[in-house]
Structure formats: structure tokens, C-alpha cells
Structure 1
Amino acid sequence: MSNVMLDDFIFRTEDIKEEELLDLYVESKMDRENINFIKTKAPLLLVGSRGTGKTMLLRVAEKELDDSFEQERVLCVLVSFKKAIFLEAVEDPQYFRQWMIAKILFTLKRKIEKKGLMLSEPGIFARYFDIGAGQDETLTDRLGGFIKVLEQSSRKRDFDVKNEIRKIMNYDTEDIEILNEVDYLHALVEDLCQVLNIDRLIFLFDEACHNFIPSQQRQFFTLFRDLRSSLISCKAAVYPGITSYGTFQQFHDASVRKVERDLQEPGFVPLMREIVRNQVSDEIYKKLEQQGELFDCLIYAATGNPRLLLKSIYLSTSKSFNSNNVNNTLKEFYRTNIWNEHTKLGEIYRGHKSLVDWGRDFIEKVVLVDTNEKNESRINEGRTQQTIYFAIHRDAPEAVKHAIRILEYSGIVSIETEGTRVRGKVFDRYQINIGIILSTVKTPTLLARNLIQGLSVKLYTDYGMNSPHYQGITHFSEDQVNFNDVIEHVLRISVEGLDITEFQCQRIKEAGFKTLGDILEGSEDNLQKAVNIGPKRARRIWNVAYNATMEYFSG
């Protein structure tokens, strides 16, 4: 299997072309329920760790709504908040809200044009910007220019943001009501729905929270709540645990649905196998099936996360697919790679470092030890029950809960049940990534069979409100983090750490793209200056760099 290449795998949905989307999409019962809910009028938070498929669900829902638009008249608009982090250096916080509204308006206008909806009343957008009837086409350029100015301002010295915006918009932004008051946006949407015979709008925010720093997240959720009307419903994909909601109440202001897959659900293994089948050649898939037990071991190790599964499949099949290579992959990928990514968060976010380090020690030196001892004792006693679960008291120190939330973001643990009772007290029960557990033993594939067949949610270790294991953890505040310093640090990171081939890395370095900042300051087109980097590779490299940057910020 040495012919398997990194480029053969698509690890991120944003790299998938629209016409290829349904060819790669594999649906579970839960996925269908989530997509159907996305299409309803109710506001929604779609919660899931990195790589669990939130973007895929949003894009499939958008496509289905696009395909049924002529009958249903529901217009779905997928809004991207890429480059939000670059606005942190803009002094006036009001600009960030204006930027979000401008992005929504820009994307809405583009979607209407893409659907071929001809406005019977020229200037319906333009009059809200006081630029004259028949000038809607000019507005697209102005909004795009306004967005670009704000995104680039943090990287330029002695840059007069206000003056540059005035040149583009012909007004100061405080004089453009629709960029400041949601009531004007509601009025515009009402006009659009009436003129274009649209029943309602659905705004999908994919990068809503994993692109924003905490203060921006709080502003976003205020806007999310303000946008709600009889004609507008909002849906946002968020990471578990690390999101700052401000006054937005997670369960009162929106419905919450999770995307993590149930390991014990009938059909789990066939579903995950189908995800792999859609990404590899028939020849390679046949060889995977021939070693079905090893294949299933990698599936369970990924704990339902498609991205982790595809990466481990790639690593295991880059040579012969056998037990030796699968064992090495499990130990290297889950014991080294994932933990290294988690530890990097402490290097970038100095204010978080103590929590990141404590969380790793807590899992490796306490939870994994207790879990393995439980499992081993049952095997020795001839009992089949096995566990990947642990529970944290609801009233544990806030720093402990924050450290666990960072572990959720990293994909090392995930919430299994919130608010379960243990001996009359309330705990949150978590599950450890199975790959993490398997990586602690010499031969992971031998442990996998007993662990998976005997898995029982009733077996777990609980850590109380004042557990002695919490000693030494320090208080944490988001205000400890200087995000301007974080931005500068991350943008200086070398491209050598990106998830691209050595050939691609060398070509872009030769073309002058040596850091993440070098890539992100330009566009996909700029990357095509590199030798043998065409449009497809340029898009993938830019997306890899962008997502790597955002994942640093999100921690």
C-alpha cells in the first residue's frame, strides 16, 4: 500500500467541491435528524469536537435547501467568518460587529445573485446604504472593500482605518444604520422576502466560534440572538466547552444538538467503514476489508471522529496494512501526535499553560491509570465489563472544569452524559478517546477486542468536588491572555508543521511562503506562484494553513 498519498485523503469538508459533496457524505440516523433540524425555524447550536462533521452537516443542509428552493422558498445562506482573528488589533470594538453584519449582507447578496433571483425593485439593497437606486452592484464592491480593510488593518502600521473606510463607503460607518442597528437588517430582509417571494432565511455560521477569541464570541452570540425574527433563523457550529456565550443562554436562546457518534449504536462500524470507502480506491479498500479486525480497531480508536479515522488510516496504509503498522500508528498517533497538539496550546496561550499541563497530567497520571486498573482487574477476574468513562463533580473547581473543556476541544475526552447522579450527587460523565487508552499498552490491537466488546457506561471512576487530585491547579481568567501576542506568535510559525506533503512544503517555501502569516496575508491564487501548485493544491494548502491557525486561536 505504499502508493497511498496524503493528497488522496480529504480531511476537511471545506476542501470538497460542491458537486462532490454528496459523493463523500455518509449519513447516520443522527445526522439526518440534525440536518432536518437545521432546516427548521428554530435557532440551533450544533456542538461537536474538531473533525466530527459539523461543517459537512451544514453544507449538506444548505445543498438540500438550495435544491428545494423553488418549492419551499427557504433561502439558506452559509456565512464565513474567516479572518475574524485579525480584527482583534482594531481598537474600536464596534468595528467587529459592523464587520459581522457586512459579512452577512455580502454573503446574502451573493447568494441571491447565485440563485438567479432578479430584483423587481432595483436598488433594494442600495437604499439602505443611501447610494442611490440601481447601485446594488456597487454595494458588493463596497462591502467587500470594507471587509478587506478591517481584516488587513492589524498587519499594517500607521494605518488610518476610519479614513480608509470613508474612502470606500463614502460615509463613516456610524452613519450607516444597517451596519449598526439590526432593525434595519430586519427591514431589508422583510423587503427581500416580499419582493422575491422568499418564505424565510436561514443563516448558517460554520466558523462562528472556533474562529473567534472569547470577547468576539460574546459579541457574536449577542448578534445571533438579535437576528432572530419570524423571517430569520440562525444556526451555529460550535466546539464543546470552550465557547464564551456572554448573556446568551445556551439552552434557552437556542436548541442544542450534538454530532458525536454513539460507539454502541447498531451500524456504527459499517457507517465509519463507508466514510473510508468513499475516500480510497477499491483496491485499497479491499485490502482493508481483508484485515477487518485491524480496520475496526482503527475505527473504534477514532471514537467516531471521521478526521481522526482518515488520518490513522493514511498512516497505517502508507506501508503494508498489518498488525505491526496498525499498532505503531495507534501508539504514535494517539500517544504522541494528539498529545503534542494539546500541549502546543499551552505554548501559544501562556495564560492557559498551567491548565493545559494540569489536564494532561490528570488524564495520563490519574484517569488513565485508574481506568486501566479497573479494566485489568475485571479481565483477571473473568468479568467482561470494561470502561472508557470517568465523572467530574458538578461543583469541582472552575479551573478543573476549564481544563477538562480544553481536553474536549483537543478530542482527548468528550462529554457522555451531563448531570448524572452518583450516590445522590451530580456529576458530568466523560469518555476518553479509545485511541488514547489503546496507546498506553505495548500491543494496542490485543487490548482493543476486550475493551470494545465489554464496554459499559455503568462502569467509571468518579472524582468528587474536593478530590485530592485537584490540588495544585491554579485559578484561570480569560483576561490573562494577550491575543495580540498570540496572533503575532502564530503567524510566525513555520509552514513545515503543516499537514501537507514534503514536496508541497518545499515548493511553497521556494516561492516565499515560509510562515503561516505569509500564506494567510494572501489568497489561494498567490500560492499558485509556487512551482507545480495548481488551483486544487493551492486551495488545500491555504485551507490547511487557515485551519491550523484557527485551531491555535481556538484553544
Structure 2
Amino acid sequence: MPEFYLRTESIKSDDILSLSVINNYDKDIITALKSSEPCLIEGSRGTGKSFLMRVAELEIERSDVSSISVYVSFNISSLVDTEDPLQFYHWMLAKSLKALINKLKKRGIVLSSYSVSLLSNDEHNEYDGVDEDLKSIVSAFENSYKGKINIPTHSLPDIEDVKEAIETICIEHKLKRIYFFFDEAAHVFRPDQQRQFFSLFKDLRSPYITCNAAIYPGVTYFGKSFEPTHDCIYKRLDRNIKDAGYIDYFKDIVLKQSDDVTKKAIKEQGGLFKVLALSSGGNPRMLLRTIQDLERFNTQSVNQLIKQFYRSQIWIEHTELGDKYKGHKQLIDWGRDFLENIAISAIEKYNTNRKDKNKEESTIYFWVHKDSPATVKEALRLLTYTGIIRKLDSGVRASRGELGTRYEVKYGCLIALQSSPNNESDDFFNTLSIKKFPEFGKNHSSYLTISNLKNTIEDINTFRESLSNMLQKPISVLKLLTSWQKSKLNHAKIFNLEQLYSCTETELIAKIYNVGPVRARLMKNAATAELLEYLSG
């Protein structure tokens, strides 16, 4: 099978729009991102949050010369570790201003000395001085994991000066608005960082600034000063497998990146494509990844891959989160055990009973009481982050009139349990009923092993230990690097993640025979993207 783009970061800006497949649901989100109101997009990994933000960014740039869009990724946030209690706020502000200045330069906009003085806390009156200071601050924060250092943030402006500077820039250059698109909006396993991010998100609000951000379900901490329902437009990026047009939509996504052989196979084997698309549970990355891993587009290969990926690989990747972040390990391990051995077993039993009674009803859903222990809810939230389950709705009444939350298990995780997923899929899918689900009350026996678990999520020392351990991992853990890339990196004596992160493009050129600047940059970007995704979970 061909190689697909599995991450938006791998796609050139010029190719984003040509590869985009936009339905009415996506259009609604893009419209919100282009509005004057701040917007948050919530979705699991691989659902397309970054891609839609890129589309919105490009549409703004191409259709409205009086607006400027600035895309800022915070994917390197896991490496920020200083004694500054507001380290993330300062780092994110410096990174955002640096990205803004870069975009203004590209547009040929020259700042007045007044704007420059505001952006540099009266340290400079020339453009280049501000740029160099911001670059130095960002770099120092991003290398702070190596040891405790004090970073001179005195040149960072007050947030009110930032807003005044942007207002001045807009008035002087006849601009209507500056749009910030924040991707990887603060590290999901650092609640302190997330709270600081949302303080910055809210602080930047002005008639000339709109902030948009992509966040993850279940694991986002907003802090006390930010209310999603009042402070922004809140959009969930969920793709329901029961929606009309679901299969055609995902087929278009795959065909946009497919070679002629794959296009022909999909056209001739529509049923096989359907079971792969349903198995992904609405996750474009998972669908592309599974098709890319197929040996052949036939029934045997599809059945084999679905069983391997949804019975094994998807669970292994979830469990690895606990190995990376020790403070979450017990929650992650319990969540897997509960879902795999209890919830899914209950769903299977329910489906078998209904089938034995000749009832045309099946389910991939389960319900958890609203008063279940907080640790149970946290474990389930982590499962929504990795996308194994999806939170459908809360406040749902169960059989005894009690209120709780309804979840959907990824379709592939259930169909993979059949001897022939492809043959069983149509009947199973056609009988799915959202009204049918096993129930887990507030005192279910499975909660006993986790209900009194000590919360270590906020423990900074635990996080530092986890980060140090991850940086010593071999580059072989980076699954999406090619064998050629890994061999070349090893040949250059780059064996672990820390060595990879520390190596510059120039050093790659010097160390790797027959690798020029272009290929070195591609290798460095691909390796860094994979490295940062590994570190962030």
C-alpha cells in the first residue's frame, strides 16, 4: 500500500487545500475558526483538528488581505522546565510574538518604533532587536530540560502592551484582525501548563485579536478563570459512524492521497474499505494508517490487520502512556483493564444474548453513573484522549432512572473480536442501537481497586523523572520514521531521543554522508515531529 500523510505537520502549506475533504460539519468548524470570536476545537489524536485549523488559516490569508493568521505549535512544551512559576505563560507568549513578527516580516510590514518598544518592554526601538530577544528566550525555555537555569524574561512585554502594540499595528497598516491558531495547546499531562495556556488565551482577547486552539477531550484543564461555554465558541470534532455520507467522506480522504493501484482496489473492494472505515471510528489517521499497513487489499489481509491492530496495537499504544508518564500509570492500566475485560465483555455478552433471542439489536456503547469515583472518570478520560472510546453525552438516564454518561467503544475493537470481521460487519453495523448499552453503577465492584488511588498527576518530580526516562529511549520507539532514516541516524551516532533532539540540521549534513540541506531538513523535521508526538503521548 502507498505511504500516506499521517500528520498535518508533514504536509506542505501549498498542498493543504488540494488534499482537503470538507463536509458540512467541517465547514461549520472552519467558519467558527474564521469568525471574530475565539474558538476551541476538541478532538482525539488524529481526528483532523490541526488540518482544519490549517485550512482556516490559509483561507483567511487567501481571501482577506486585511487580516493576518499566525499558526503557533506548542508541541515542544514537554521540554520546558525552569524555576519560573509562570514558565509556560512566558514561553508561550514569547513563542507567539516571535511567530507574529515572522509573519509580519513575510508580509513586508515594518513596525513603528512605538510598536517595537511596546513589544520589547522598552528594551528596543528596532525590529531586529525584538526578534533576537524573543528567539533567545524561546530557545532557552526549550532547552531548559537539560538543567535548572534562570531565563531573563525582563524584555517580555506586559500583556496589555502586547494588545496595544497589535492594535497600533492594525491601525497603522489598515489591518482588521490578527488570528492566532494555537496547535498542541499545552501539554496534556501538565495541568499547570494548561491552566497557564488558558490564562494567555483569555488575556489576549481584544477587538483586533482572535485566538483559536486545538485541544484534547477529557484531559484538558481550563483553570478557574476560563469558562469554555462563556469565553469561546466550543466545537467537538467527532465523526459518527452512523452519519449519512460517512463512508463516502472517508473514501474521498483516502483517494486524495492514493496511487492508481490503491484507487482501483478501493473501487473494486468497496465492502473491505467500508469495514476499515467503520473500524477507525471516525479517525482519519487510524484509517490511513491501517490501509497503509495492509499487505494486500483482500479479505484475508483486511481481517488479519483489523484483528492485529484493534485487538493488540491500539491497546499497546494506550498502555505505553503509563510507561511514559508514571503519575498516570495506575489510571491508564486500570482503564485498559476495565474497558477490555469488563466493559467490552459486558457488551459482547449483551450482543450475544440479543442475537440468541433473535433480537435485531447490537451495541458498541456503555453507561457509567455520574457519581462514580473521580479516578474512574479520569481513567475513562484518558481512554477518550487516545480515542479508544468516545464520550457521546452526559445526563443520560439508565434503566432505573439514574443519570450517567454514555460512551462509545471504537467499532474496530468490537468487530475485531469476530472470527471474520469483514463477513460479520454489515449485520453488526445495521443492528447497532444507541439506546442499548450495559450499565455500570456508582458502586460497581470493578471500581474498588482504583477508587482510593492517590492523585500523582500534579507531581512535577514524577513528570521530570518520566521525561528523563523517555529522552534516553532508543530512536527505534519512533514508529513512523522509516528504516532508512533510522539507519542513517544510527550511522551518525544518534541512538536515543535526546541526541536526536539536540542534533541540528547542520550537524546532520556533516555527520551523514550524501545528505544535503534539503534532505537533512526533511529528516530533521520528520524526526522532530515524531519525537515530540512520542513525548506528548
Q: Give deviations 1:505-537, integer Å, cap 9, x for gaps.
A: 111111122112122223455445434656676
TM-score (norm 2): 0.93
Other-structure match for 1:232: 209
Tell me by how many angstroms 1:543 deviates.
4.9
In the alignment, structure 1 segments of 5+ residues that lack a partner are 166-172
What is the aligned counterpart of 2:231 among 244, 248, 253? 253
Query: In the superposition, relative to structure 1, how do residues 546 and 244 fare at CA in structure 2: closer, same or farther (>3 Å)?
Result: farther
> What does 1:278-317 correspond to in 2, within 5 Å?
278-316=256-294
> What does 1:366-385 correspond to in 2, within 5 Å?
366-385=342-361
> What does 1:410-449 correspond to in 2, within 5 Å?
410-422=386-398, 423-449=400-426
CA contact (8 A) 1:327 1:443 kept: yes
Identity %: 35
Other-structure match for 1:108: 100
Q: Distance in 2 between matches of 1:141 and 1:303?
A: 46
Tell me by how many angstroms 1:546 deviates.
3.9
Other-structure match for 2:150: 161
Q: Give deviations 1:463-520, integer Å, cap 9, x for gaps.
A: 1111222121142422346111111111111111222222221111111221121222
What is the aligned counterpart of 1:509 among 466, 469, 490? 490
Other-structure match for 2:502: 521
CA contact (8 A) 1:77 1:204 kept: yes
Q: Distance in 2 between matches of 1:539 and 1:432?
A: 40
Tell me by how many angstroms 1:210 deviates.
4.0
Tell me by how many angstroms 1:56 deviates.
0.2
CA contact (8 A) 1:486 1:553 kept: no
What is the aligned counterpart of 1:490 among 467, 470, 474? 470
> What does 1:334-483 correspond to in 2, within 5 Å?
334-422=310-398, 423-473=400-450, 474-477=452-455, 478-480=457-459, 482-483=462-463
Query: In the superposition, relative to structure 1, how do residues 523 and 432 fare at CA in structure 2: closer, same or farther (>3 Å)?
Result: farther
Q: Distance in 1 between matches of 2:408 and 2:513?
A: 46
Q: Distance in 2 between matches of 1:463 and 1:82?
A: 36
Tell me by how many angstroms 1:50 deviates.
0.3
Tell me by how many angstroms 1:545 deviates.
4.3
Other-structure match for 1:274: 252
- Whether 1:200 aligns to 2:177 is yes
Q: Distance in 2 between matches of 1:380 and 1:524?
A: 63
Query: In the superposition, relative to structure 1, how do residues 219 and 145 fare at CA in structure 2: closer, same or farther (>3 Å)?
Result: same
Query: In the superposition, relative to structure 1, how do residues 539 and 177 fare at CA in structure 2: closer, same or farther (>3 Å)?
Result: closer
Tell me by how many angstroms 1:544 deviates.
5.1
Tell me by how many angstroms 1:349 deviates.
2.1
Other-structure match for 2:28: 33
CA contact (8 A) 1:385 1:454 kept: yes
Instruction: Report how many aligned residue pairs link the two structures.
Output: 529
CA contact (8 A) 2:306 2:416 kept: yes
CA contact (8 A) 1:294 1:322 kept: yes
Other-structure match for 1:99: 91
Q: Distance in 2 between matches of 1:332 and 1:400?
A: 28
For residue 346 of structure 1, what is the amino acid of its counterpart?
G
Q: Give deviations 1:78-115, integer Å, cap 9, x for gaps.
A: 11223222212x11223432221111111111111222
Q: Distance in 2 between matches of 1:32 and 1:535?
A: 38
Q: Distance in 2 between matches of 1:26 and 1:323?
A: 27
Tell me by how many angstroms 1:371 deviates.
0.9
Other-structure match for 1:324: 300
Tell me by how many angstroms 1:27 deviates.
0.8
Other-structure match for 1:82: 75
CA contact (8 A) 1:210 1:238 kept: no
CA contact (8 A) 2:327 2:463 kept: no
Other-structure match for 2:48: 53
Helix, strand or coil at the partner of 1:418? strand
Query: In the superposition, relative to structure 1, how do residues 532 and 343 fare at CA in structure 2: closer, same or farther (>3 Å)?
Result: farther
Tell me by how many angstroms 1:305 deviates.
0.4
Q: Give deviations 1:123-175, integer Å, cap 9, x for gaps.
A: 62245423444x1123212211221122123225xx7534xx4xxxxxxx33x
> What does 1:148-227 correspond to in 2, within 5 Å?
148-156=139-147, 160-162=149-151, 165=152, 173-174=153-154, 176=155, 178=157, 181-210=158-187, 213-227=190-204
For residue 338 of structure 2, what is the amino acid of its counterpart?
F
Tell me by how many angstroms 1:550 deviates.
4.1
Query: In the superposition, relative to structure 1, how do residues 426 and 184 fare at CA in structure 2: closer, same or farther (>3 Å)?
Result: same
TM-score (norm 1): 0.90
Helix, strand or coil at the partner of 1:224? helix
CA contact (8 A) 1:209 1:237 kept: no
Helix, strand or coil at the partner of 2:185? coil
Tell me by how many angstroms 1:240 deviates.
0.4
Tell me by how many angstroms 1:434 deviates.
0.8
Other-structure match for 1:169: none
Q: Distance in 1 between matches of 2:291 and 2:518?
A: 22
Query: In the superposition, relative to structure 1, how do residues 501 and 553 fare at CA in structure 2: closer, same or farther (>3 Å)?
Result: closer
Other-structure match for 1:170: none
For residue 56 of structure 2, what is the amino acid of its counterpart?
A
Query: In the superposition, relative to structure 1, how do residues 237 and 132 fare at CA in structure 2: closer, same or farther (>3 Å)?
Result: closer
RMSD: 2.1
Q: Distance in 2 between matches of 1:275 and 1:535?
A: 32
Tell me by how many angstroms 1:309 deviates.
0.2
Tell me by how many angstroms 1:250 deviates.
2.7
Tell me by how many angstroms 1:369 deviates.
0.9
For residue 189 of structure 1, what is the amino acid of its counterpart?
I
Q: Distance in 2 between matches of 1:153 and 1:101?
A: 17
Query: In the superposition, relative to structure 1, how do residues 544 and 357 fare at CA in structure 2: closer, same or farther (>3 Å)?
Result: farther
Tell me by how many angstroms 1:10 deviates.
0.8
Query: In the superposition, relative to structure 1, how do residues 372 and 93 fare at CA in structure 2: closer, same or farther (>3 Å)?
Result: same
Q: Distance in 2 between matches of 1:492 and 1:382?
A: 56
CA contact (8 A) 1:123 1:132 kept: no
